[in-house]
Amino acid sequence: MEYEKANLSITGMHCAACAARIEKVIGRQPGVVDIAVNLATERALVVFESDQTELDDIVSRVEKLGYGASVYDESLPSTEGGDRAAVEMFLFSALLTVPFVLQMLHMFNLISIPPVLENPFVQFGLATQIQFIAGWRFYVGAFKSLRARSADMDVLVVLGTSSAYFYSVWMMFGGGDQLYFETSSILITLVLFGKILEAKAKSRTTDALQALAQLHVKNAHLIQGEHETDVPIQHVVVGDLLMVRPGEKVPVDGRVVDGESSVDESMLTGEILPVHKRVGDLVYGGTLNQDGALRVLAQRIGADSALGQIIRLVEEAQGSKAPVQRLADTICGVFVPVVILLSFATFVFWYFVLKFPMSISLENTCAVLLAACPCPLGLATPAALVVGTGRAARQGVFFKGGEQLEQLHKAKVVLMDKTGTITHGRPMVTDVLLIKHPAIRTQGQLLYLASSAELSSGHPLARVIVEHASQYTRPVAPTSFMSLAGRGVSATVAGQHVLVGNLRLLQEHGVNIHGLPSCTEEWEAAGKTVAFIAVERRIAGLIAVADTIKPSSRRAIRQLQALGMRVVMVTGDNVKTANVVARQVGVRDVLAELTPEDKVRAIRHFQRQGYAVAMVGDGINDAPALAAANVGLAVGTGADVALEAADVALIGADLEGVVQAVLLSRATMRCIIQSFSWALLYNGITIPFAAIGLLSPLLAGAAMAFSSVTVVLNALRLKRMRMGRKLQHSQSSL
């Protein structure tokens, strides 16, 4: 059984009921495993079994429901043409509505108007054009909705405006003077205006995804022998040799085979400072080459590149749904039918029970139909998710979906791996101490002899010492060399016998180790590995090596604790080293000497106590724990398998990305709850007020038109939220 994913572009959706109807019908189609329709982005993420159904069948089924559907392609033209048509139709409707507005002002003795504007037949002519030209889209939408045995916002608009229009026609030809042509006309104009504002606001929610897509390079300089040719990026294949000049974007992921330069990778890592690249280093598509020419061997292109994977993550996250959306979907599914019943009950109550005139009964009925709006309910979650995940993406935090974002805001316990997550994950020279020696007068001499002796060794600590010393001196190959397992090396460098290793090595060669500096014990107590250097059987110096703590780790952990989260360090390292690191970063809870299975058991332990657990890791051994946690966060320097198992990918090694992810998830969920509450409050107030005659159809229509805009604007506040101030606040509270 093979699953496929497809991202569809859906056109013709007008409200949450449209999205719910597509999900309901397509979700029942054989072979469709899951479908999530996002009203804010007008996209649908479909998961289906390719051996049971084809994508063309799904697209065809969506079209039969009355909507446009196609595979999403970011290279296709934008919808500006459709937006322009909508604006033109609004302007047409607004122009014809002006006489009705003047008439209303005249009714309140605010202005005088020509008698012709009060002529019923003139009003009929203007209102008819508005009703059936500007408002035709609502009739088409309502017909498609009813044909699919459903009801949406278009049905409510058609029922409300048609009631006012046809009642006015009936009264006009029947000799009555209660005409409501201005009501139906102004309502259609207001709804069209509201739709334009909503579309503009929704388009701003996808700014982050559009910005990422614009990072793609359209052309590349292909090197073939001695010649260089400009080719479209689609023609580049793995193994091609490309030239990247200063000031140009790197076209694909690849490895530098010639040249040296600084590359701005801020679009991937969020780091402001450029990264120096030389032969053998990896470069990533979309990053900016700054000051040198590079020849790059293409390794990953298109969707397989880091940028392509990031765009896919953002698309899937924005197209997914948070569990909180299920309540909104349930309400939207029954909303329109219930409103229609309420409007019918309103008419019966006013006309048959209270015996009010037809005009008043019909006016209150129209008000109920026009006040009801399911759009805020349907937009609350997707609009906030799109903006929240887009904001997170710009900061190097990539949620795989809305469910993960919602889960993270619930997390109260954070399990954090030590090696590679809190620490750099690789040993580094932390201290060098020169001990008085007749032949060694400078630290540079000490590093020269030690690194030269270690140059032929394959031990990891030897490579660390050589790498560190190479910054200050140039090691040379020893004239004699012997590796002594478990102890160190013995070598001859520049005619001098050099020992580099542990105390046992020195003792075996008769080196006097009495009177060693007290810092030796301090270093070892801090979890550092100490290499002793002896020259001509006399101690000459010490080099301490350790896996150092990332500069941001202590600050990030303190911020998480200030946010009310319990941080637990989990590691396979020994208890002594784990406790040393824990003390340095301020972690009180430590679980050491754990296997990957033990980390999973630790997560299960906290989950059984009722906690939602977040796991932060980077290595292959962290993958089971990342998958077992309620939400797993993988730092971007880690293994690919860890990133795949995680729910949130953090591009870059900075642990403050975890803090950013938590703050963004909490802010997004707070925004969803605010918008959801507003939507319920809006409908809870306007519908009863309309039913009891305290809200005119005109005011009801205006409120309905702007209600969904309010929800989207609330979501857009996430783009301007100042995360730095929140971080400073959490730090100052310690």
Q: In which element (H, E) is residue 649 found?
A: strand 648-650
Q: List the structure tokens of 721.
A: 């939220």
Distance of alpha carbon 473 from alpha carbon 573, whole angstroms: 33
CA gap 423, 577 in Å, rounded: 12
**φ, ψ at 70 (rounded to 5°):** -160, 160
In Å, what is the CA distance from 309 to each residue of 62, 312, 400?
28, 5, 11
d(CA 553, CA 549): 7
Q: Cα(650)–Cα(397) distance, rounded to whole angstroms?
A: 5
What sign has the CA pseudo-torsion 511, 513, 516, 519? positive
Neighbours of 107 (CB within 10 A): 12
Sort strands 566-570 and 589-591 into parallel, antiparallel or unpaired. Answer: parallel
Distance CA 422, CA 557 (A): 9
Which tokens sit at 187? 């309502």
Quick one: which of 310, 94, 132, 151 has its CA closest to 216? 310
Q: How many CA atoms within 13 Å lie on the side-chain side of 162?
A: 12
Nearest of 65, 61, 85, 67 to residue 11 by alpha carbon: 67
- Cross-strand partners of 44: 8, 37
Question: Could you tell me how many residues make up the chain?
Answer: 734
Catalytic residues: 417
Per the CB < 8 A criterion, the answer to whether 114 and 336 are in contact is no
Strand locations in 511-610 (E): 529-535, 538-549, 566-570, 589-591
- DSSP-derived letter for residue 622 is G
Q: From CA 43, how far away is CA 404, in angstroms rounded?
A: 20
Residue tagged 């929704």 (tokens): 202
Q: Which residues of 293-323 are buried (b: 16+ CB within 10 A; e: fewer)?
A: ebbbebbbbeeebbbbbbbebbbbbbbbbbe
Q: Which helix (H) or strand (E) covers residue 343, if one does?
A: helix 325-348
Task: Report the candidate in 269, 278, 197, 44 with the shortest Cα–Cα distance to residue 706.
Answer: 197
